[in-house]
Structure 1
Amino acid sequence: MAAVDISPAAALYRRARVPTPTAVVYEGREISAEELGRTAGEFAAGLSERGLRRGDRVAYLGFNSATFLETLFAAAHLGAVFVPVNFRLAADEVRHILNDCGAHTLVVEEGHRELVESILTDVPARNHVLVDTDPACPAAPLTAPTWTPLSRLRGPHRPVREPVALYDDDLAALMYTSGTTGRPKGVMLTHGNLWWNAVNVDSVVDTRCDDVNLAVAPLFHIGGLNALTLRTLVRGGTVVVRRAFDPARCLEDLVDHRVNSLFAVPAMFAALARVPGFAEADLGALRSAIVAGAPVPPQLIRDYADRGVLLQQAWGLTETAPFATYLPAGLTREKTGSAGVPMPYTGIRLMHPGTGAAIDGHDVRGEICVRGPNVTPGYWDNPDATRAAFDDTGWFHTGDIAYRDEEGFYYIVDRLKDMIISGGENVYPAEVERVLAEYPGALEAAVIGVPDPRWGETVLAVLSCEAGTAPTVEEVRAFADGYLARYKLPTRVMLIERLPRNASGKLDKAELRRWVEAQEPAARTS
């Protein structure tokens, strides 16, 4: 069978030829598919004149925006590789990414320009494009040496050639992992990876061609970009893009735009539920609310279900583009806490972390491994990391620990690297955190292992609580005693105003450990 062109740029241009709803609503401005396609094509023509070729890397540093999407489509038009950069990274981290990917072109919003200028002499990029076409961005200076205004690369007089045909194995994006255990690695995602995730999602989630999707999660993160956003654009729906997540604004958007689909991490859904007026807001249009990216407190699921919104849990990683499992909406209450079952075109297997032997029984914990067309082919220019992640039969070893119940539903327990070994017993922090999140007055809970002269490690709980709530370790242990084995109970408790999170909304345990070390012995511990 002949290969099929799955270029997102070609799909956008096809959409633009027929009447469809507004493609993008961005900070109050409506952008049609025809306009988005035209500006992306003109941008592609300008980049081509500047020497950008198929396979070259285009890095973008800025907040969620219509220009972010325009850059993605322009890169796809030329067969170039899109590299979205985490806008919260420090200069040294950005330098590493730009050098690691060998960026040919940088597209940067004002507000990030000075950071990039501090490292420009250390990175290979030959094109430096400054966004001056977005009124929602900080105003770009009239003259900025070494920078080309984006407006100069766009224009109706540039001939726009047909987009490059792209197939399953063509590289679409490099998305850099958070690097919590070292330098970030560039996850290679092909156009096939992105496309097959969309097929998986459309097969099990109630998505429709004219959906309104709200994009408030960072688009540099695979969940923000490819859970729903990209698919909505190329299918014919509308994406409401916000530069950043604001809980109150998010609630307004859900109501005002009659949003049908939303991807967010648990911390975002929790913040949304605390907005005044949440209980009365009309969320009747919200059919597909997907929560993933971090452990989901069962109480959060129950609270939304009581509100009439069925949060649909999914699990995956950047390497799986992003989803590997999904819990159908109809099972939200019955299987609260489960990450669901394998996506239709994705294989899941549990393996013993030490031996790699397959685990066939239920309720046995092992490393969850993934195989399928949505799974990355490996890490950019890092064969050692790729070999370490894949076994000889093609299974990707995720580093997550899970078990499967009698009915075949998976439950993610924790990251293998975060496991605490106390007196020879394995303690998975996420399991303890789910219980502590139910403590009366607790807003968030995190668990880390700390050295102990008797047990090797013991459990330290860090809680963020409502004002006036200051539980002692005895109170926390008494609460959790009926839910957890005694060796899993916290031996100490610390209180924090807010748990540290990275730009993707995930709990930043490295930062949390640094905070704990800085507080001791002055901080109140029990």
Structure 2
Amino acid sequence: MFAEPDVEREDRPDGSVVFRSRAPLGPYPRSVAAMLRDWAEADPAHPLVAERAGDGWATLTYGEVRDRADALGQALLDRGLGPHRPLMILSGNSVAHFVLTLGALTAGVPVAPISVAYSLLSTDHARIRDIASLLRPGLVFAEAGGPFAAALAAVEGPGVVLAYDVDAVPGAESLDDLLATAPGPELAAAYAATGPGTLAKVLFTSGSTGSPKGVLNTHRMLCSNQQAIRQAWPFLAGERPVLVDWLPWSHTFGGNHNVDLVLRNGGTLYLDDGKPAPQLFGRSLENLRSVPPTLYFNVPAGYAQLVPVLERDPEFARVFFSRLRLLFNAAAALPAALRSRLEAAAAAAGADVPLTGSWGATETAPAVTSAHFPFTDARCIGVPLPGLAVKLAPVGEAHEIRVRGDAVTPGYLHRPDLTEAAFDDEGFYRTGDAAVPASGDPNTGLLFGGRIAEDFKLDTGTFVRVGALRTALLSAVPLLSDVVLAGENRQYIGALAWLNQAEARLAGPLDEADGCLVHAELAGQVAKLLAAMNSVAGSAGRVERLVVLAEPPDLDAGEITDKGYLNQRRVLARRAALVERLYADEPDVAVIVAG
């Protein structure tokens, strides 16, 4: 099922270590559009993409998607779009979004899918305006006019195309009108001119800075990355995957890794209109019951919602695991306790399904490493994929992961200053993440160490690795969905946390006290679990106090990035008063003290 790791290690005099796969990267398609056209030629009737329609699914085949993509590609060219006039997409995953993206890529038009949160959750749409100013789009698409009217108004100048509710935005065109376009020689010429070096996407990421920056994604990046994944997972060459996936296409995990994996391997993508949030996860469960996937991709927050259901609903677990080949986790380390429960749920359903993971970035298309071998440490991110070199470079007390190869971005849109700063003198992309070798054997992979900028020291000089401790805390206290750690220049570590509704089964209502949730049973359980964790940890791994926050992370305030990750330092700065409560001489009623 998986390729055997075969990695070489080079130790350098400056303390850096370089890892490379000995397997050469094989040939790959020249563009994402070529993946679609190759499969449409080979098997036009095979289903490619489906979305919910009533109690069933509305499906388009490879041939139907190619025909729609050709019509839309010509329509975009007719409206003056091209390599320097990209398509901006404000709405989330949908069949319309999918075919419009492939139409743009067929015509050599870059696509910029924008986080839906910037349109629907933001109150000032400042980031939408900033992105549009940098991107300079030739056209903007949204699924429906009404919900996106305010965001569309923030993007001044370009034309607007809507799939529904066209009358809500004056001057907007209907997607159906674009689909009626007959493809001509202009499209054929534009497709022929598209190659590995052509810009395919601009993905906007704010990282820890809060300022959107446009990451250039070329066809070389996307296609080489899929070839590398296929070499690590050779079973894909003979098994066309079926995905039921919610991960947003504004993020490289969902939009590049998963969508392109389906296109590269002739698979089928079912659009999951749920997500791992208490009010929406039931929809995901309905979709997974309807179409059991062969590959399942999620993030730790998603697995935290899924595992309790698998444990209490054996029939759902049987359906879910019925044809599953692998489980895949990315975005952050999966807490060890959650991993163990997931493996136990699979075994109880009679399934032997490997749990694997990967590491990468928006700037790397995204996969750099893959854990395509058995491992037990939850921090394991695997070994470098073919065609990529990984350097662990000393930075302070950590070793930064740096990457070079075909899947690495050429830089940032209209920001030569950011591009220059992003690479070292050997051309390795500086990721800002830390890792260490799992052992002296390079084939055992790397262990993720978190974001270097998030780490801090206590006033004793003890160095706290935030990424590793965060994962350990969420594993030890599954009642929590996420945490931010405090303690820089303090005597001990404290935490701001959010409740995991899927795990919390408490008697009586939760009270609120100055922004924190208060509940005696919750406090007792958390205090006991913290004490158990602390009893086997050193000072760098002990969390002495914790508050459970009532207010979710705020997008407009920069507390979460476009990818949905917590911005550790922004949360601590914005909620400084709550941090002070953690360190008060006499803790108030909302502060949970480790038992």
TM-score range, shorter chain: 0.7 to 0.9
Secondary structure in 2 matching 1:469 = helix
CA distance in 2, matches of 1:6, 1:268: 34
2:262 touches 2:269 (CA, 8 Å); kept in 1?
yes
Superposition deviation, residue 84 in structure 1: 0.6
Determine the structure 1 residue equivalent to 2:178: 153
Superposition deviation, residue 97 in structure 1: 0.8
Query: Aligned in 2, Cα 1:314/1:47: closer, same or farther, shift over 3 Å?
Result: same
CA distance in 2, matches of 1:518, 1:88: 27
Question: Which moves more between the two structures, 150-159 or 190-199?
Answer: 150-159
Query: Aligned in 2, Cα 1:475/1:301: closer, same or farther, shift over 3 Å?
Result: closer
The share of aligned pairs that are identical, in percent, is: 25
Counterparts of 1:6-21 in structure 2, within 5 Å, are: 6-19=30-43, 20-21=45-46
CA distance in 2, matches of 1:39, 1:76: 12
2:257 touches 2:366 (CA, 8 Å); kept in 1?
yes
Structure with greater helix share of residues: 2
1:76 touches 1:164 (CA, 8 Å); kept in 2?
no
Question: Which moves more between the two structures, 395-404 or 432-441?
Answer: 432-441
Determine the structure 2 residue equivalent to 1:127: 159
Determine the structure 2 residue equivalent to 1:430: 467
Determine the structure 1 residue equivalent to 2:499: 464
2:138 pairs with 1:104:
yes
CA distance in 1, matches of 2:427, 2:154: 38
The letter of the residue matching 1:59 is M
TM-score (norm 1): 0.87
Secondary structure in 2 matching 1:72 = helix
Superposition deviation, residue 459 in structure 1: 3.6
Query: Aligned in 2, Cα 1:218/1:174: closer, same or farther, shift over 3 Å?
Result: same
The letter of the residue matching 1:433 is R
Determine the structure 1 residue equivalent to 2:411: 378
Superposition deviation, residue 476 in structure 1: 5.3
Query: Aligned in 2, Cα 1:388/1:192: closer, same or farther, shift over 3 Å?
Result: same
The letter of the residue matching 2:326 is S
Counterparts of 1:287-366 in structure 2, within 5 Å, are: 287-308=325-346, 309-328=353-372, 330-332=373-375, 334-354=376-396, 365-366=398-399
CA distance in 2, matches of 1:9, 1:338: 34
Structure 2 residue aligned with 1:421, among 457, 460, 475? 457
Superposition deviation, residue 188 in structure 1: 0.7
1:24 touches 1:239 (CA, 8 Å); kept in 2?
yes
Secondary structure in 2 matching 1:339 = strand
Determine the structure 2 residue equivalent to 1:203: 231
Give per-residue Cα distances to partners, 1:117-149, cap 9 Å, x unaligned.
43133xxx43221223xxxxxxx0446313111
2:333 touches 2:378 (CA, 8 Å); kept in 1?
no
1:444 touches 1:499 (CA, 8 Å); kept in 2?
no
Determine the structure 2 residue equivalent to 1:175: 203
CA RMSD of aligned residues (A): 2.7
Considering Cα pairs closer than 8 Å and 6+ residues apart, tell me whether 1 or 2 has the greater RCO.
2
Query: Aligned in 2, Cα 1:219/1:523: closer, same or farther, shift over 3 Å?
Result: farther
TM-score (norm 2): 0.78
Question: Which moves more between the two structures, 218-227 or 177-186?
Answer: 177-186
CA distance in 2, matches of 1:171, 1:475: 53
CA distance in 2, matches of 1:414, 1:143: 45
Query: Aligned in 2, Cα 1:207/1:384: closer, same or farther, shift over 3 Å?
Result: same
The letter of the residue matching 1:429 is V
Structure 2: any 5+ residue segments left out of the alignment? 1-26, 347-352, 507-520, 554-559, 582-587
CA distance in 2, matches of 1:237, 1:4: 17
Determine the structure 2 residue equivalent to 1:285: 323
CA distance in 2, matches of 1:157, 1:235: 29
Query: Aligned in 2, Cα 1:514/1:18: closer, same or farther, shift over 3 Å?
Result: same
2:205 touches 2:561 (CA, 8 Å); kept in 1?
no
The letter of the residue matching 1:242 is D
Question: Which moves more between the two structures, 395-404 or 300-309?
Answer: 300-309
The letter of the residue matching 1:186 is G
Query: Aligned in 2, Cα 1:279/1:257: closer, same or farther, shift over 3 Å?
Result: closer
CA distance in 1, matches of 2:273, 2:317: 25
Determine the structure 1 residue equivalent to 2:271: 241
CA distance in 1, matches of 2:552, 2:571: 7
The letter of the residue matching 1:79 is G
Query: Aligned in 2, Cα 1:490/1:372: closer, same or farther, shift over 3 Å?
Result: same
The letter of the residue matching 2:302 is M
Determine the structure 2 residue equivalent to 1:137: none
CA distance in 2, matches of 1:4, 1:274: 40
2:218 pairs with 1:218:
no
Superposition deviation, residue 186 in structure 1: 0.7
Superposition deviation, residue 226 in structure 1: 1.7
Q: How many residues align?
A: 501
2:380 touches 2:438 (CA, 8 Å); kept in 1?
no
Superposition deviation, residue 433 in structure 1: 1.9
Secondary structure in 2 matching 1:80 = coil
CA distance in 1, matches of 2:416, 2:465: 30
Superposition deviation, residue 52 in structure 1: 1.4
2:47 pairs with 1:22:
yes
CA distance in 1, matches of 2:482, 2:167: 48
CA distance in 2, matches of 1:435, 1:5: 41
Give per-residue Cα distances to partners, 1:253-291, cap 9 Å, x unaligned.
334323112222111122122335254444131113221
Superposition deviation, residue 190 in structure 1: 0.8
Question: Which moves more between the two structures, 75-84 or 276-285?
Answer: 276-285
The letter of the residue matching 1:410 is L
2:83 touches 2:108 (CA, 8 Å); kept in 1?
yes
Determine the structure 2 residue equivalent to 1:34: 63
2:82 touches 2:110 (CA, 8 Å); kept in 1?
no
1:62 touches 1:112 (CA, 8 Å); kept in 2?
no
The letter of the residue matching 2:361 is L
1:499 touches 1:507 (CA, 8 Å); kept in 2?
no
The letter of the residue matching 1:35 is E
The letter of the residue matching 1:303 is R
Query: Aligned in 2, Cα 1:77/1:279: closer, same or farther, shift over 3 Å?
Result: closer
The letter of the residue matching 2:462 is E
CA distance in 1, matches of 2:497, 2:40: 51
Structure 2 residue aligned with 1:262, among 296, 314, 319? 296
